[in-house]
Amino acid sequence: MFNSMKILDIKNLSIPEIKVIKFARFCDDRGYFTEQFRKSQLLEDPEIYFLNDVEFMQANQSSSKKGVIRGLHFQWNPNMGKLVRTLSGHMVDLVLDIREGSPTQGKIVGYDMPANNDRKYDEWIWVPEGFAHGNYFPESGMIEYMCSSEYSPQCEAGISPLSKDLDWSLCDPKLKKGFDEIQEYGAIISDKDRDAPSFNDWMEDERSKNFIYTKSENKGYQHE
């Protein structure tokens, strides 16, 4: 039997710290088998250096109806990175750079992640610390995400995904159009997310100083 996670491809999105990890499924006439996560395998792959120092502390699962928008969420003390994939249905992941001083500060990107049991691969998207995370659902769906720290309700916040000051210029226009259409036809969104601060209001909050962009000497630009 296949006994190792097989990485097929790793790509950067238009914000390069956001990574998509494609891994193999092994298919036959019964269906498929895959290892979606094996820590030792990720540590041995030099292309996945960005996870080398990450210890996943919590795993979550959520189900959303068609037309749902969630996010944009983040936390500090401890900071949290998320490894996210779609289990069923159709999810579009949304990631916003909230690092003060970043060249992509205030920019939001989307990644289309429909589930498909017939293809020979699946995907994770890695959302590091220093980014706000959310998603929207063109169809009902279920997702899971592994977190690099435990949930800290006293140190969480959000930015409204409906905020008019988000910069969508790096996002695929088709995904932005899908987001706008969900709003037009009546998005399902919590009061907490709808009424969250705008991006500019958050950046004026003293707590935004928990996410500062710095230059790494050996891996280009990073955050701390």
3-state secondary structure of 78: coil
Q: Rounded to whole angstroms, what are the CA distances from 101 to 1, 27, 109, 215, 216?
A: 49, 46, 18, 10, 14
The residues, ordered by sequence, that sit 6+ positions from 91 with a Cβ below 8 Å of its Cβ are 64, 113, 114, 135, 136, 137, 141, 143
Q: Is residue 145 flagged as an active site residue?
A: yes
**Residue in the structure block whose two tokens are 């707590």:** 207
E-strand stretches of 65-161: 69-75, 82-97, 108-114, 121-127, 131-147, 156-158
Which of 90, 111, 136, 145 is the catalytic position? Answer: 145
Taken as a whole, the chain contains a residue count of 224
Report which secondary-structure segment, H or E, holds 1. none
Q: Is residue 151 flagged as an active site residue?
A: no
Which of 73, 90, 133, 223 is the catalytic position? Answer: 73
Q: Go through 1-21 and write b for each residue having 16 or more CB atoms within 10 A of its CB, e for each that does not.
A: eeeebebeebeebebebbbbb
Q: Which two tokens stand for residue 135?
A: 């998603």
Q: Which two tokens stand for residue 27?
A: 């298919």
User: Active-site positions?
Assistant: 73, 145
